[in-house]
Amino acid sequence: MPPSPRPRVTRDQWVDAATTAFRSDGLAGVRVEALARTLGVTKGSFYWHFDDRRALVDAVVERWEAEQTEEVIARTADDGDAHARLHALFAEVAARGPRRGGERRLYLEAAAEGVQDAVRRVTARRVEHVTGLLTELGIPADVAHRRAVISLAAAVGADQLADTLPAGDDRHALVATALEMALSPA
């Protein structure tokens, strides 16, 4: 009896597997040999779809940018006035925190992995979006920008500290506090 043919794995399946590895272990977890074993294929399958590991990392980061920035912004865009949209945005950020383990490491790994431009672009987009919502609420643009940076830094920082926070520290409450800081009177 001839051996059964190896399953054909698509480019999207490689990116799915790599994204799963990224979510749990950061970009360092995106290893071609380990992914090939997970998918039950040889490394040759990988090279059918990608020139090198960097191309796969770029695809993972592109997906991260879409899912963790553009899709989140889109989902919260129709939630009422700017105040309601900010609350929806920060609630979504807090809820997604546990599923963003790779993003915790990404800010530290960006330069070594050659994706710092993408991380800068995502950060700028997030700051721009929150700044726009704060200016809609009547906060002067320069103050809104600073508050957007600080509130996003607090939310990202809560992710960075998530595994080491003392018991009882509620990540949702910390992210809500970041929003309160952004909205506080001058």
Specify if 80 maps to a domain: yes
- Measured between alpha carbons, how far is 38 from 176 in angstroms, rounded to an integer? 38
pLDDT at 186 over 70: no
- In tens, the pLDDT along 19-74 reads 999 999 999 999 999 999 999 999 989 999 999 999 999 999 999 999 989 999 99
At 100, is the pLDDT very low, low, confident or very high (cuts 50, 70, 90)?
low
Per-residue confidence (pLDDT) for residue 116, from 0 to 100: 95
At 162, is the pLDDT very low, low, confident or very high (cuts 50, 70, 90)?
low
Q: How many domains does the chain have?
A: 1
Specify if 116 maps to a domain: yes
Residue 104 lies in domain: 61-183
- In tens, the pLDDT along 135-144 reads 999 999 999 9
Question: What share of the chain in percent tops pLDDT 70?
Answer: 91
Query: What does pTM read for this prediction?
Result: 0.85
| DSSP 8-state assignment for residue 166 | P
Mean pLDDT score, 170-179: 74
Mean pLDDT score, 5-15: 83
Specify if 1 maps to a domain: no
Per-residue confidence (pLDDT) for residue 163, from 0 to 100: 67
Most confident of 2-6, 97-101, 159-163: 159-163
CB 131 within 8 A of CB 141: yes
Q: Which helix (H) or strand (E) holds 58?
A: helix 53-65
Specify if 176 maps to a domain: yes
Specify if 10 maps to a domain: no
Specify if 103 maps to a domain: yes
Torsion 80-86-87-89 (CA) sign: positive
Specify if 36 maps to a domain: no
- Measured between alpha carbons, how far is 155 from 160 in angstroms, rounded to an integer? 9
Helices 101-113, 53-65: crossing angle, 10 deg rounding: 130
pLDDT at 2 over 70: no
- In tens, the pLDDT along 124-158 reads 999 999 999 999 999 999 999 999 999 988 888 77
Specify if 174 maps to a domain: yes
